[in-house]
Amino acid sequence: MLHTLEQGGANLLKAIIQSYVDKKIEVHVACFELPVSSFKDVIRTSPDSVVHYHDFFTDHLGWLEKKSDKEVKDSLESIEENKSDNFVLVIDSIASLIINFGSGSVYKRLHRFLMPESKVQHVVTLLHKDMIEDFEFDDISHLASTVLRVEPPTERSHGRPLCFVTHKTNKGKVLREVYYFNSHGQFVANLDYNYALYIEIKKNKVEHYSVDACNKLWSEPFKESAPSKPVKPVDVMADVTTFRLTLEDKEKEARSQLVLPYLRNEAASENSGGGVIHYVPDEGDDWDEEDPDNDLNI
């Protein structure tokens, strides 16, 4: 899952963890950037759900003599040696790992998790796109079967952040969808969104998903907004005065047909016997057909 400074993806990551927890899948959360409490406080668990938290945040270099640097590396290995057959590994920030251990080492480690003999069913990671080099990003995204890229809200997304989903199927087909998502208040993740996303992607299809009743977390496919219809202007002076200050279409037409007496009118000039004054505008004259007071907000 890719995110940037402008749009964070931590809420969505917590939602994905919750979706696995609700499905009674064993989850191991490796906390490198956020404290364990930031996940523990929001993930809802039941007696039969299994979530293990691994704290690499508090003392990742062993300065507090709780763990040494080597122990941290060993702990990552030890996650894989779990007794459970299938479990999901969540890494809260892979950028921290890359900065501390180097991209090559992280790539090898992730690749090992994805080998057929590995007990890891899925690896879900958050990646700060603006903290790594492009080639490091290419390496990691090459390993991923599904990439979720979160982007800040745009004018047409109704103020909600966007999630661009790119999924590579086993047959090599690439699916692309755009969603927007939201969360209200404390993140009590209703993971229907992620269920839908997960299940539909397994079927090689991403379909429309509607909003849940609680509106805790919801999503729907991103659609371009229809162009807005021109709104009939409201006469703001209607309630202020009893005079009518605007003209109807008929009246406007009648006004346009009115021939002003000082303009040259061939038919009238032939019939009349007396002298008349004609006004003929020259090239430099500022002749304006419109009402000169039209722009005033009377």
Partner 1 sequence: MATDFYLALELDKVDLSGKVISVVERQGGNANFVISALMSHFIDNKTAICLLSLHNTFGHYRNVGMKFGKNLQKLKEEGSFKCIEMLKTIERSVSDRTTEIDFLFPGNQKDMPLKNLFLTIKREAELLLQTQKSVCILVDDLSDLFCLGYSSSQVLSFYQYCRSLIFDLKSCSLVVLCHSTDEDIESMLTVTGICHTSYLSVEVCGLNTGISGDVSGVINIGKRDEANSRIRNTYHFKLEEKRIRVFPPGASPALF
206 belongs to the binding site for partner 1 (CB under 8 A): no
Find the binder of partner 1 among 49, 75, 82, 100 (CB under 8 A). Answer: 100
Residue closer to partner 1, measured from CB, 59 or 220 = 59
148 belongs to the binding site for partner 1 (CB under 8 A): no
Q: How many CB atoms lie within 10 A of CB 2?
A: 23
Smallest gap from residue 77 Cβ to partner 1 (A): 21
Q: State the DSSP code for 204.
A: T
Chain-centroid distance, C-alpha 259: 60
- Please give the residues from 37 up to 56 whose contact with partner 1 meets the rule CB under 8 A: 37
6 belongs to the binding site for partner 1 (CB under 8 A): yes
Residue range at the interface with partner 1 (CB under 8 A); choices 7-15, 39-47, 112-120, 275-283 = 7-15
Smallest gap from residue 245 Cβ to partner 1 (A): 34
Smallest gap from residue 192 Cβ to partner 1 (A): 17
- Tell me the C-alpha distance between 28 and 52, whole Å: 5
Residue range at the interface with partner 1 (CB under 8 A); choices 31-39, 45-53, 113-121, 197-205 = 31-39
Residue range at the interface with partner 1 (CB under 8 A); choices 73-81, 93-101, 107-115, 171-179 = 93-101
10 belongs to the binding site for partner 1 (CB under 8 A): yes
Q: What are the φ/ψ torsions at residue 297 (nearest 5 degrees)?
A: -90, 75
- Please give the residues from 158 up to 177 whose contact with partner 1 meets the rule CB under 8 A: 160-161
Q: What are the φ/ψ torsions at residue 217 (nearest 5 degrees)?
A: -145, 125
- Tell me the C-alpha distance between 292 and 154, whole Å: 40
Q: E-strand spans in 126-261? A: 127-128, 146-151, 162-168, 174-183, 217-221
- Tell me the C-alpha distance between 171 and 180, whole Å: 27
CB 154 within 8 A of CB 136: no
The two tokens of residue 261 are: 């007496």
Residues in contact with partner 1 by the rule CB under 8 A: 5-11, 33-35, 37, 57-61, 63, 95-96, 99-100, 128, 130-131, 152-153, 160-161, 181-185
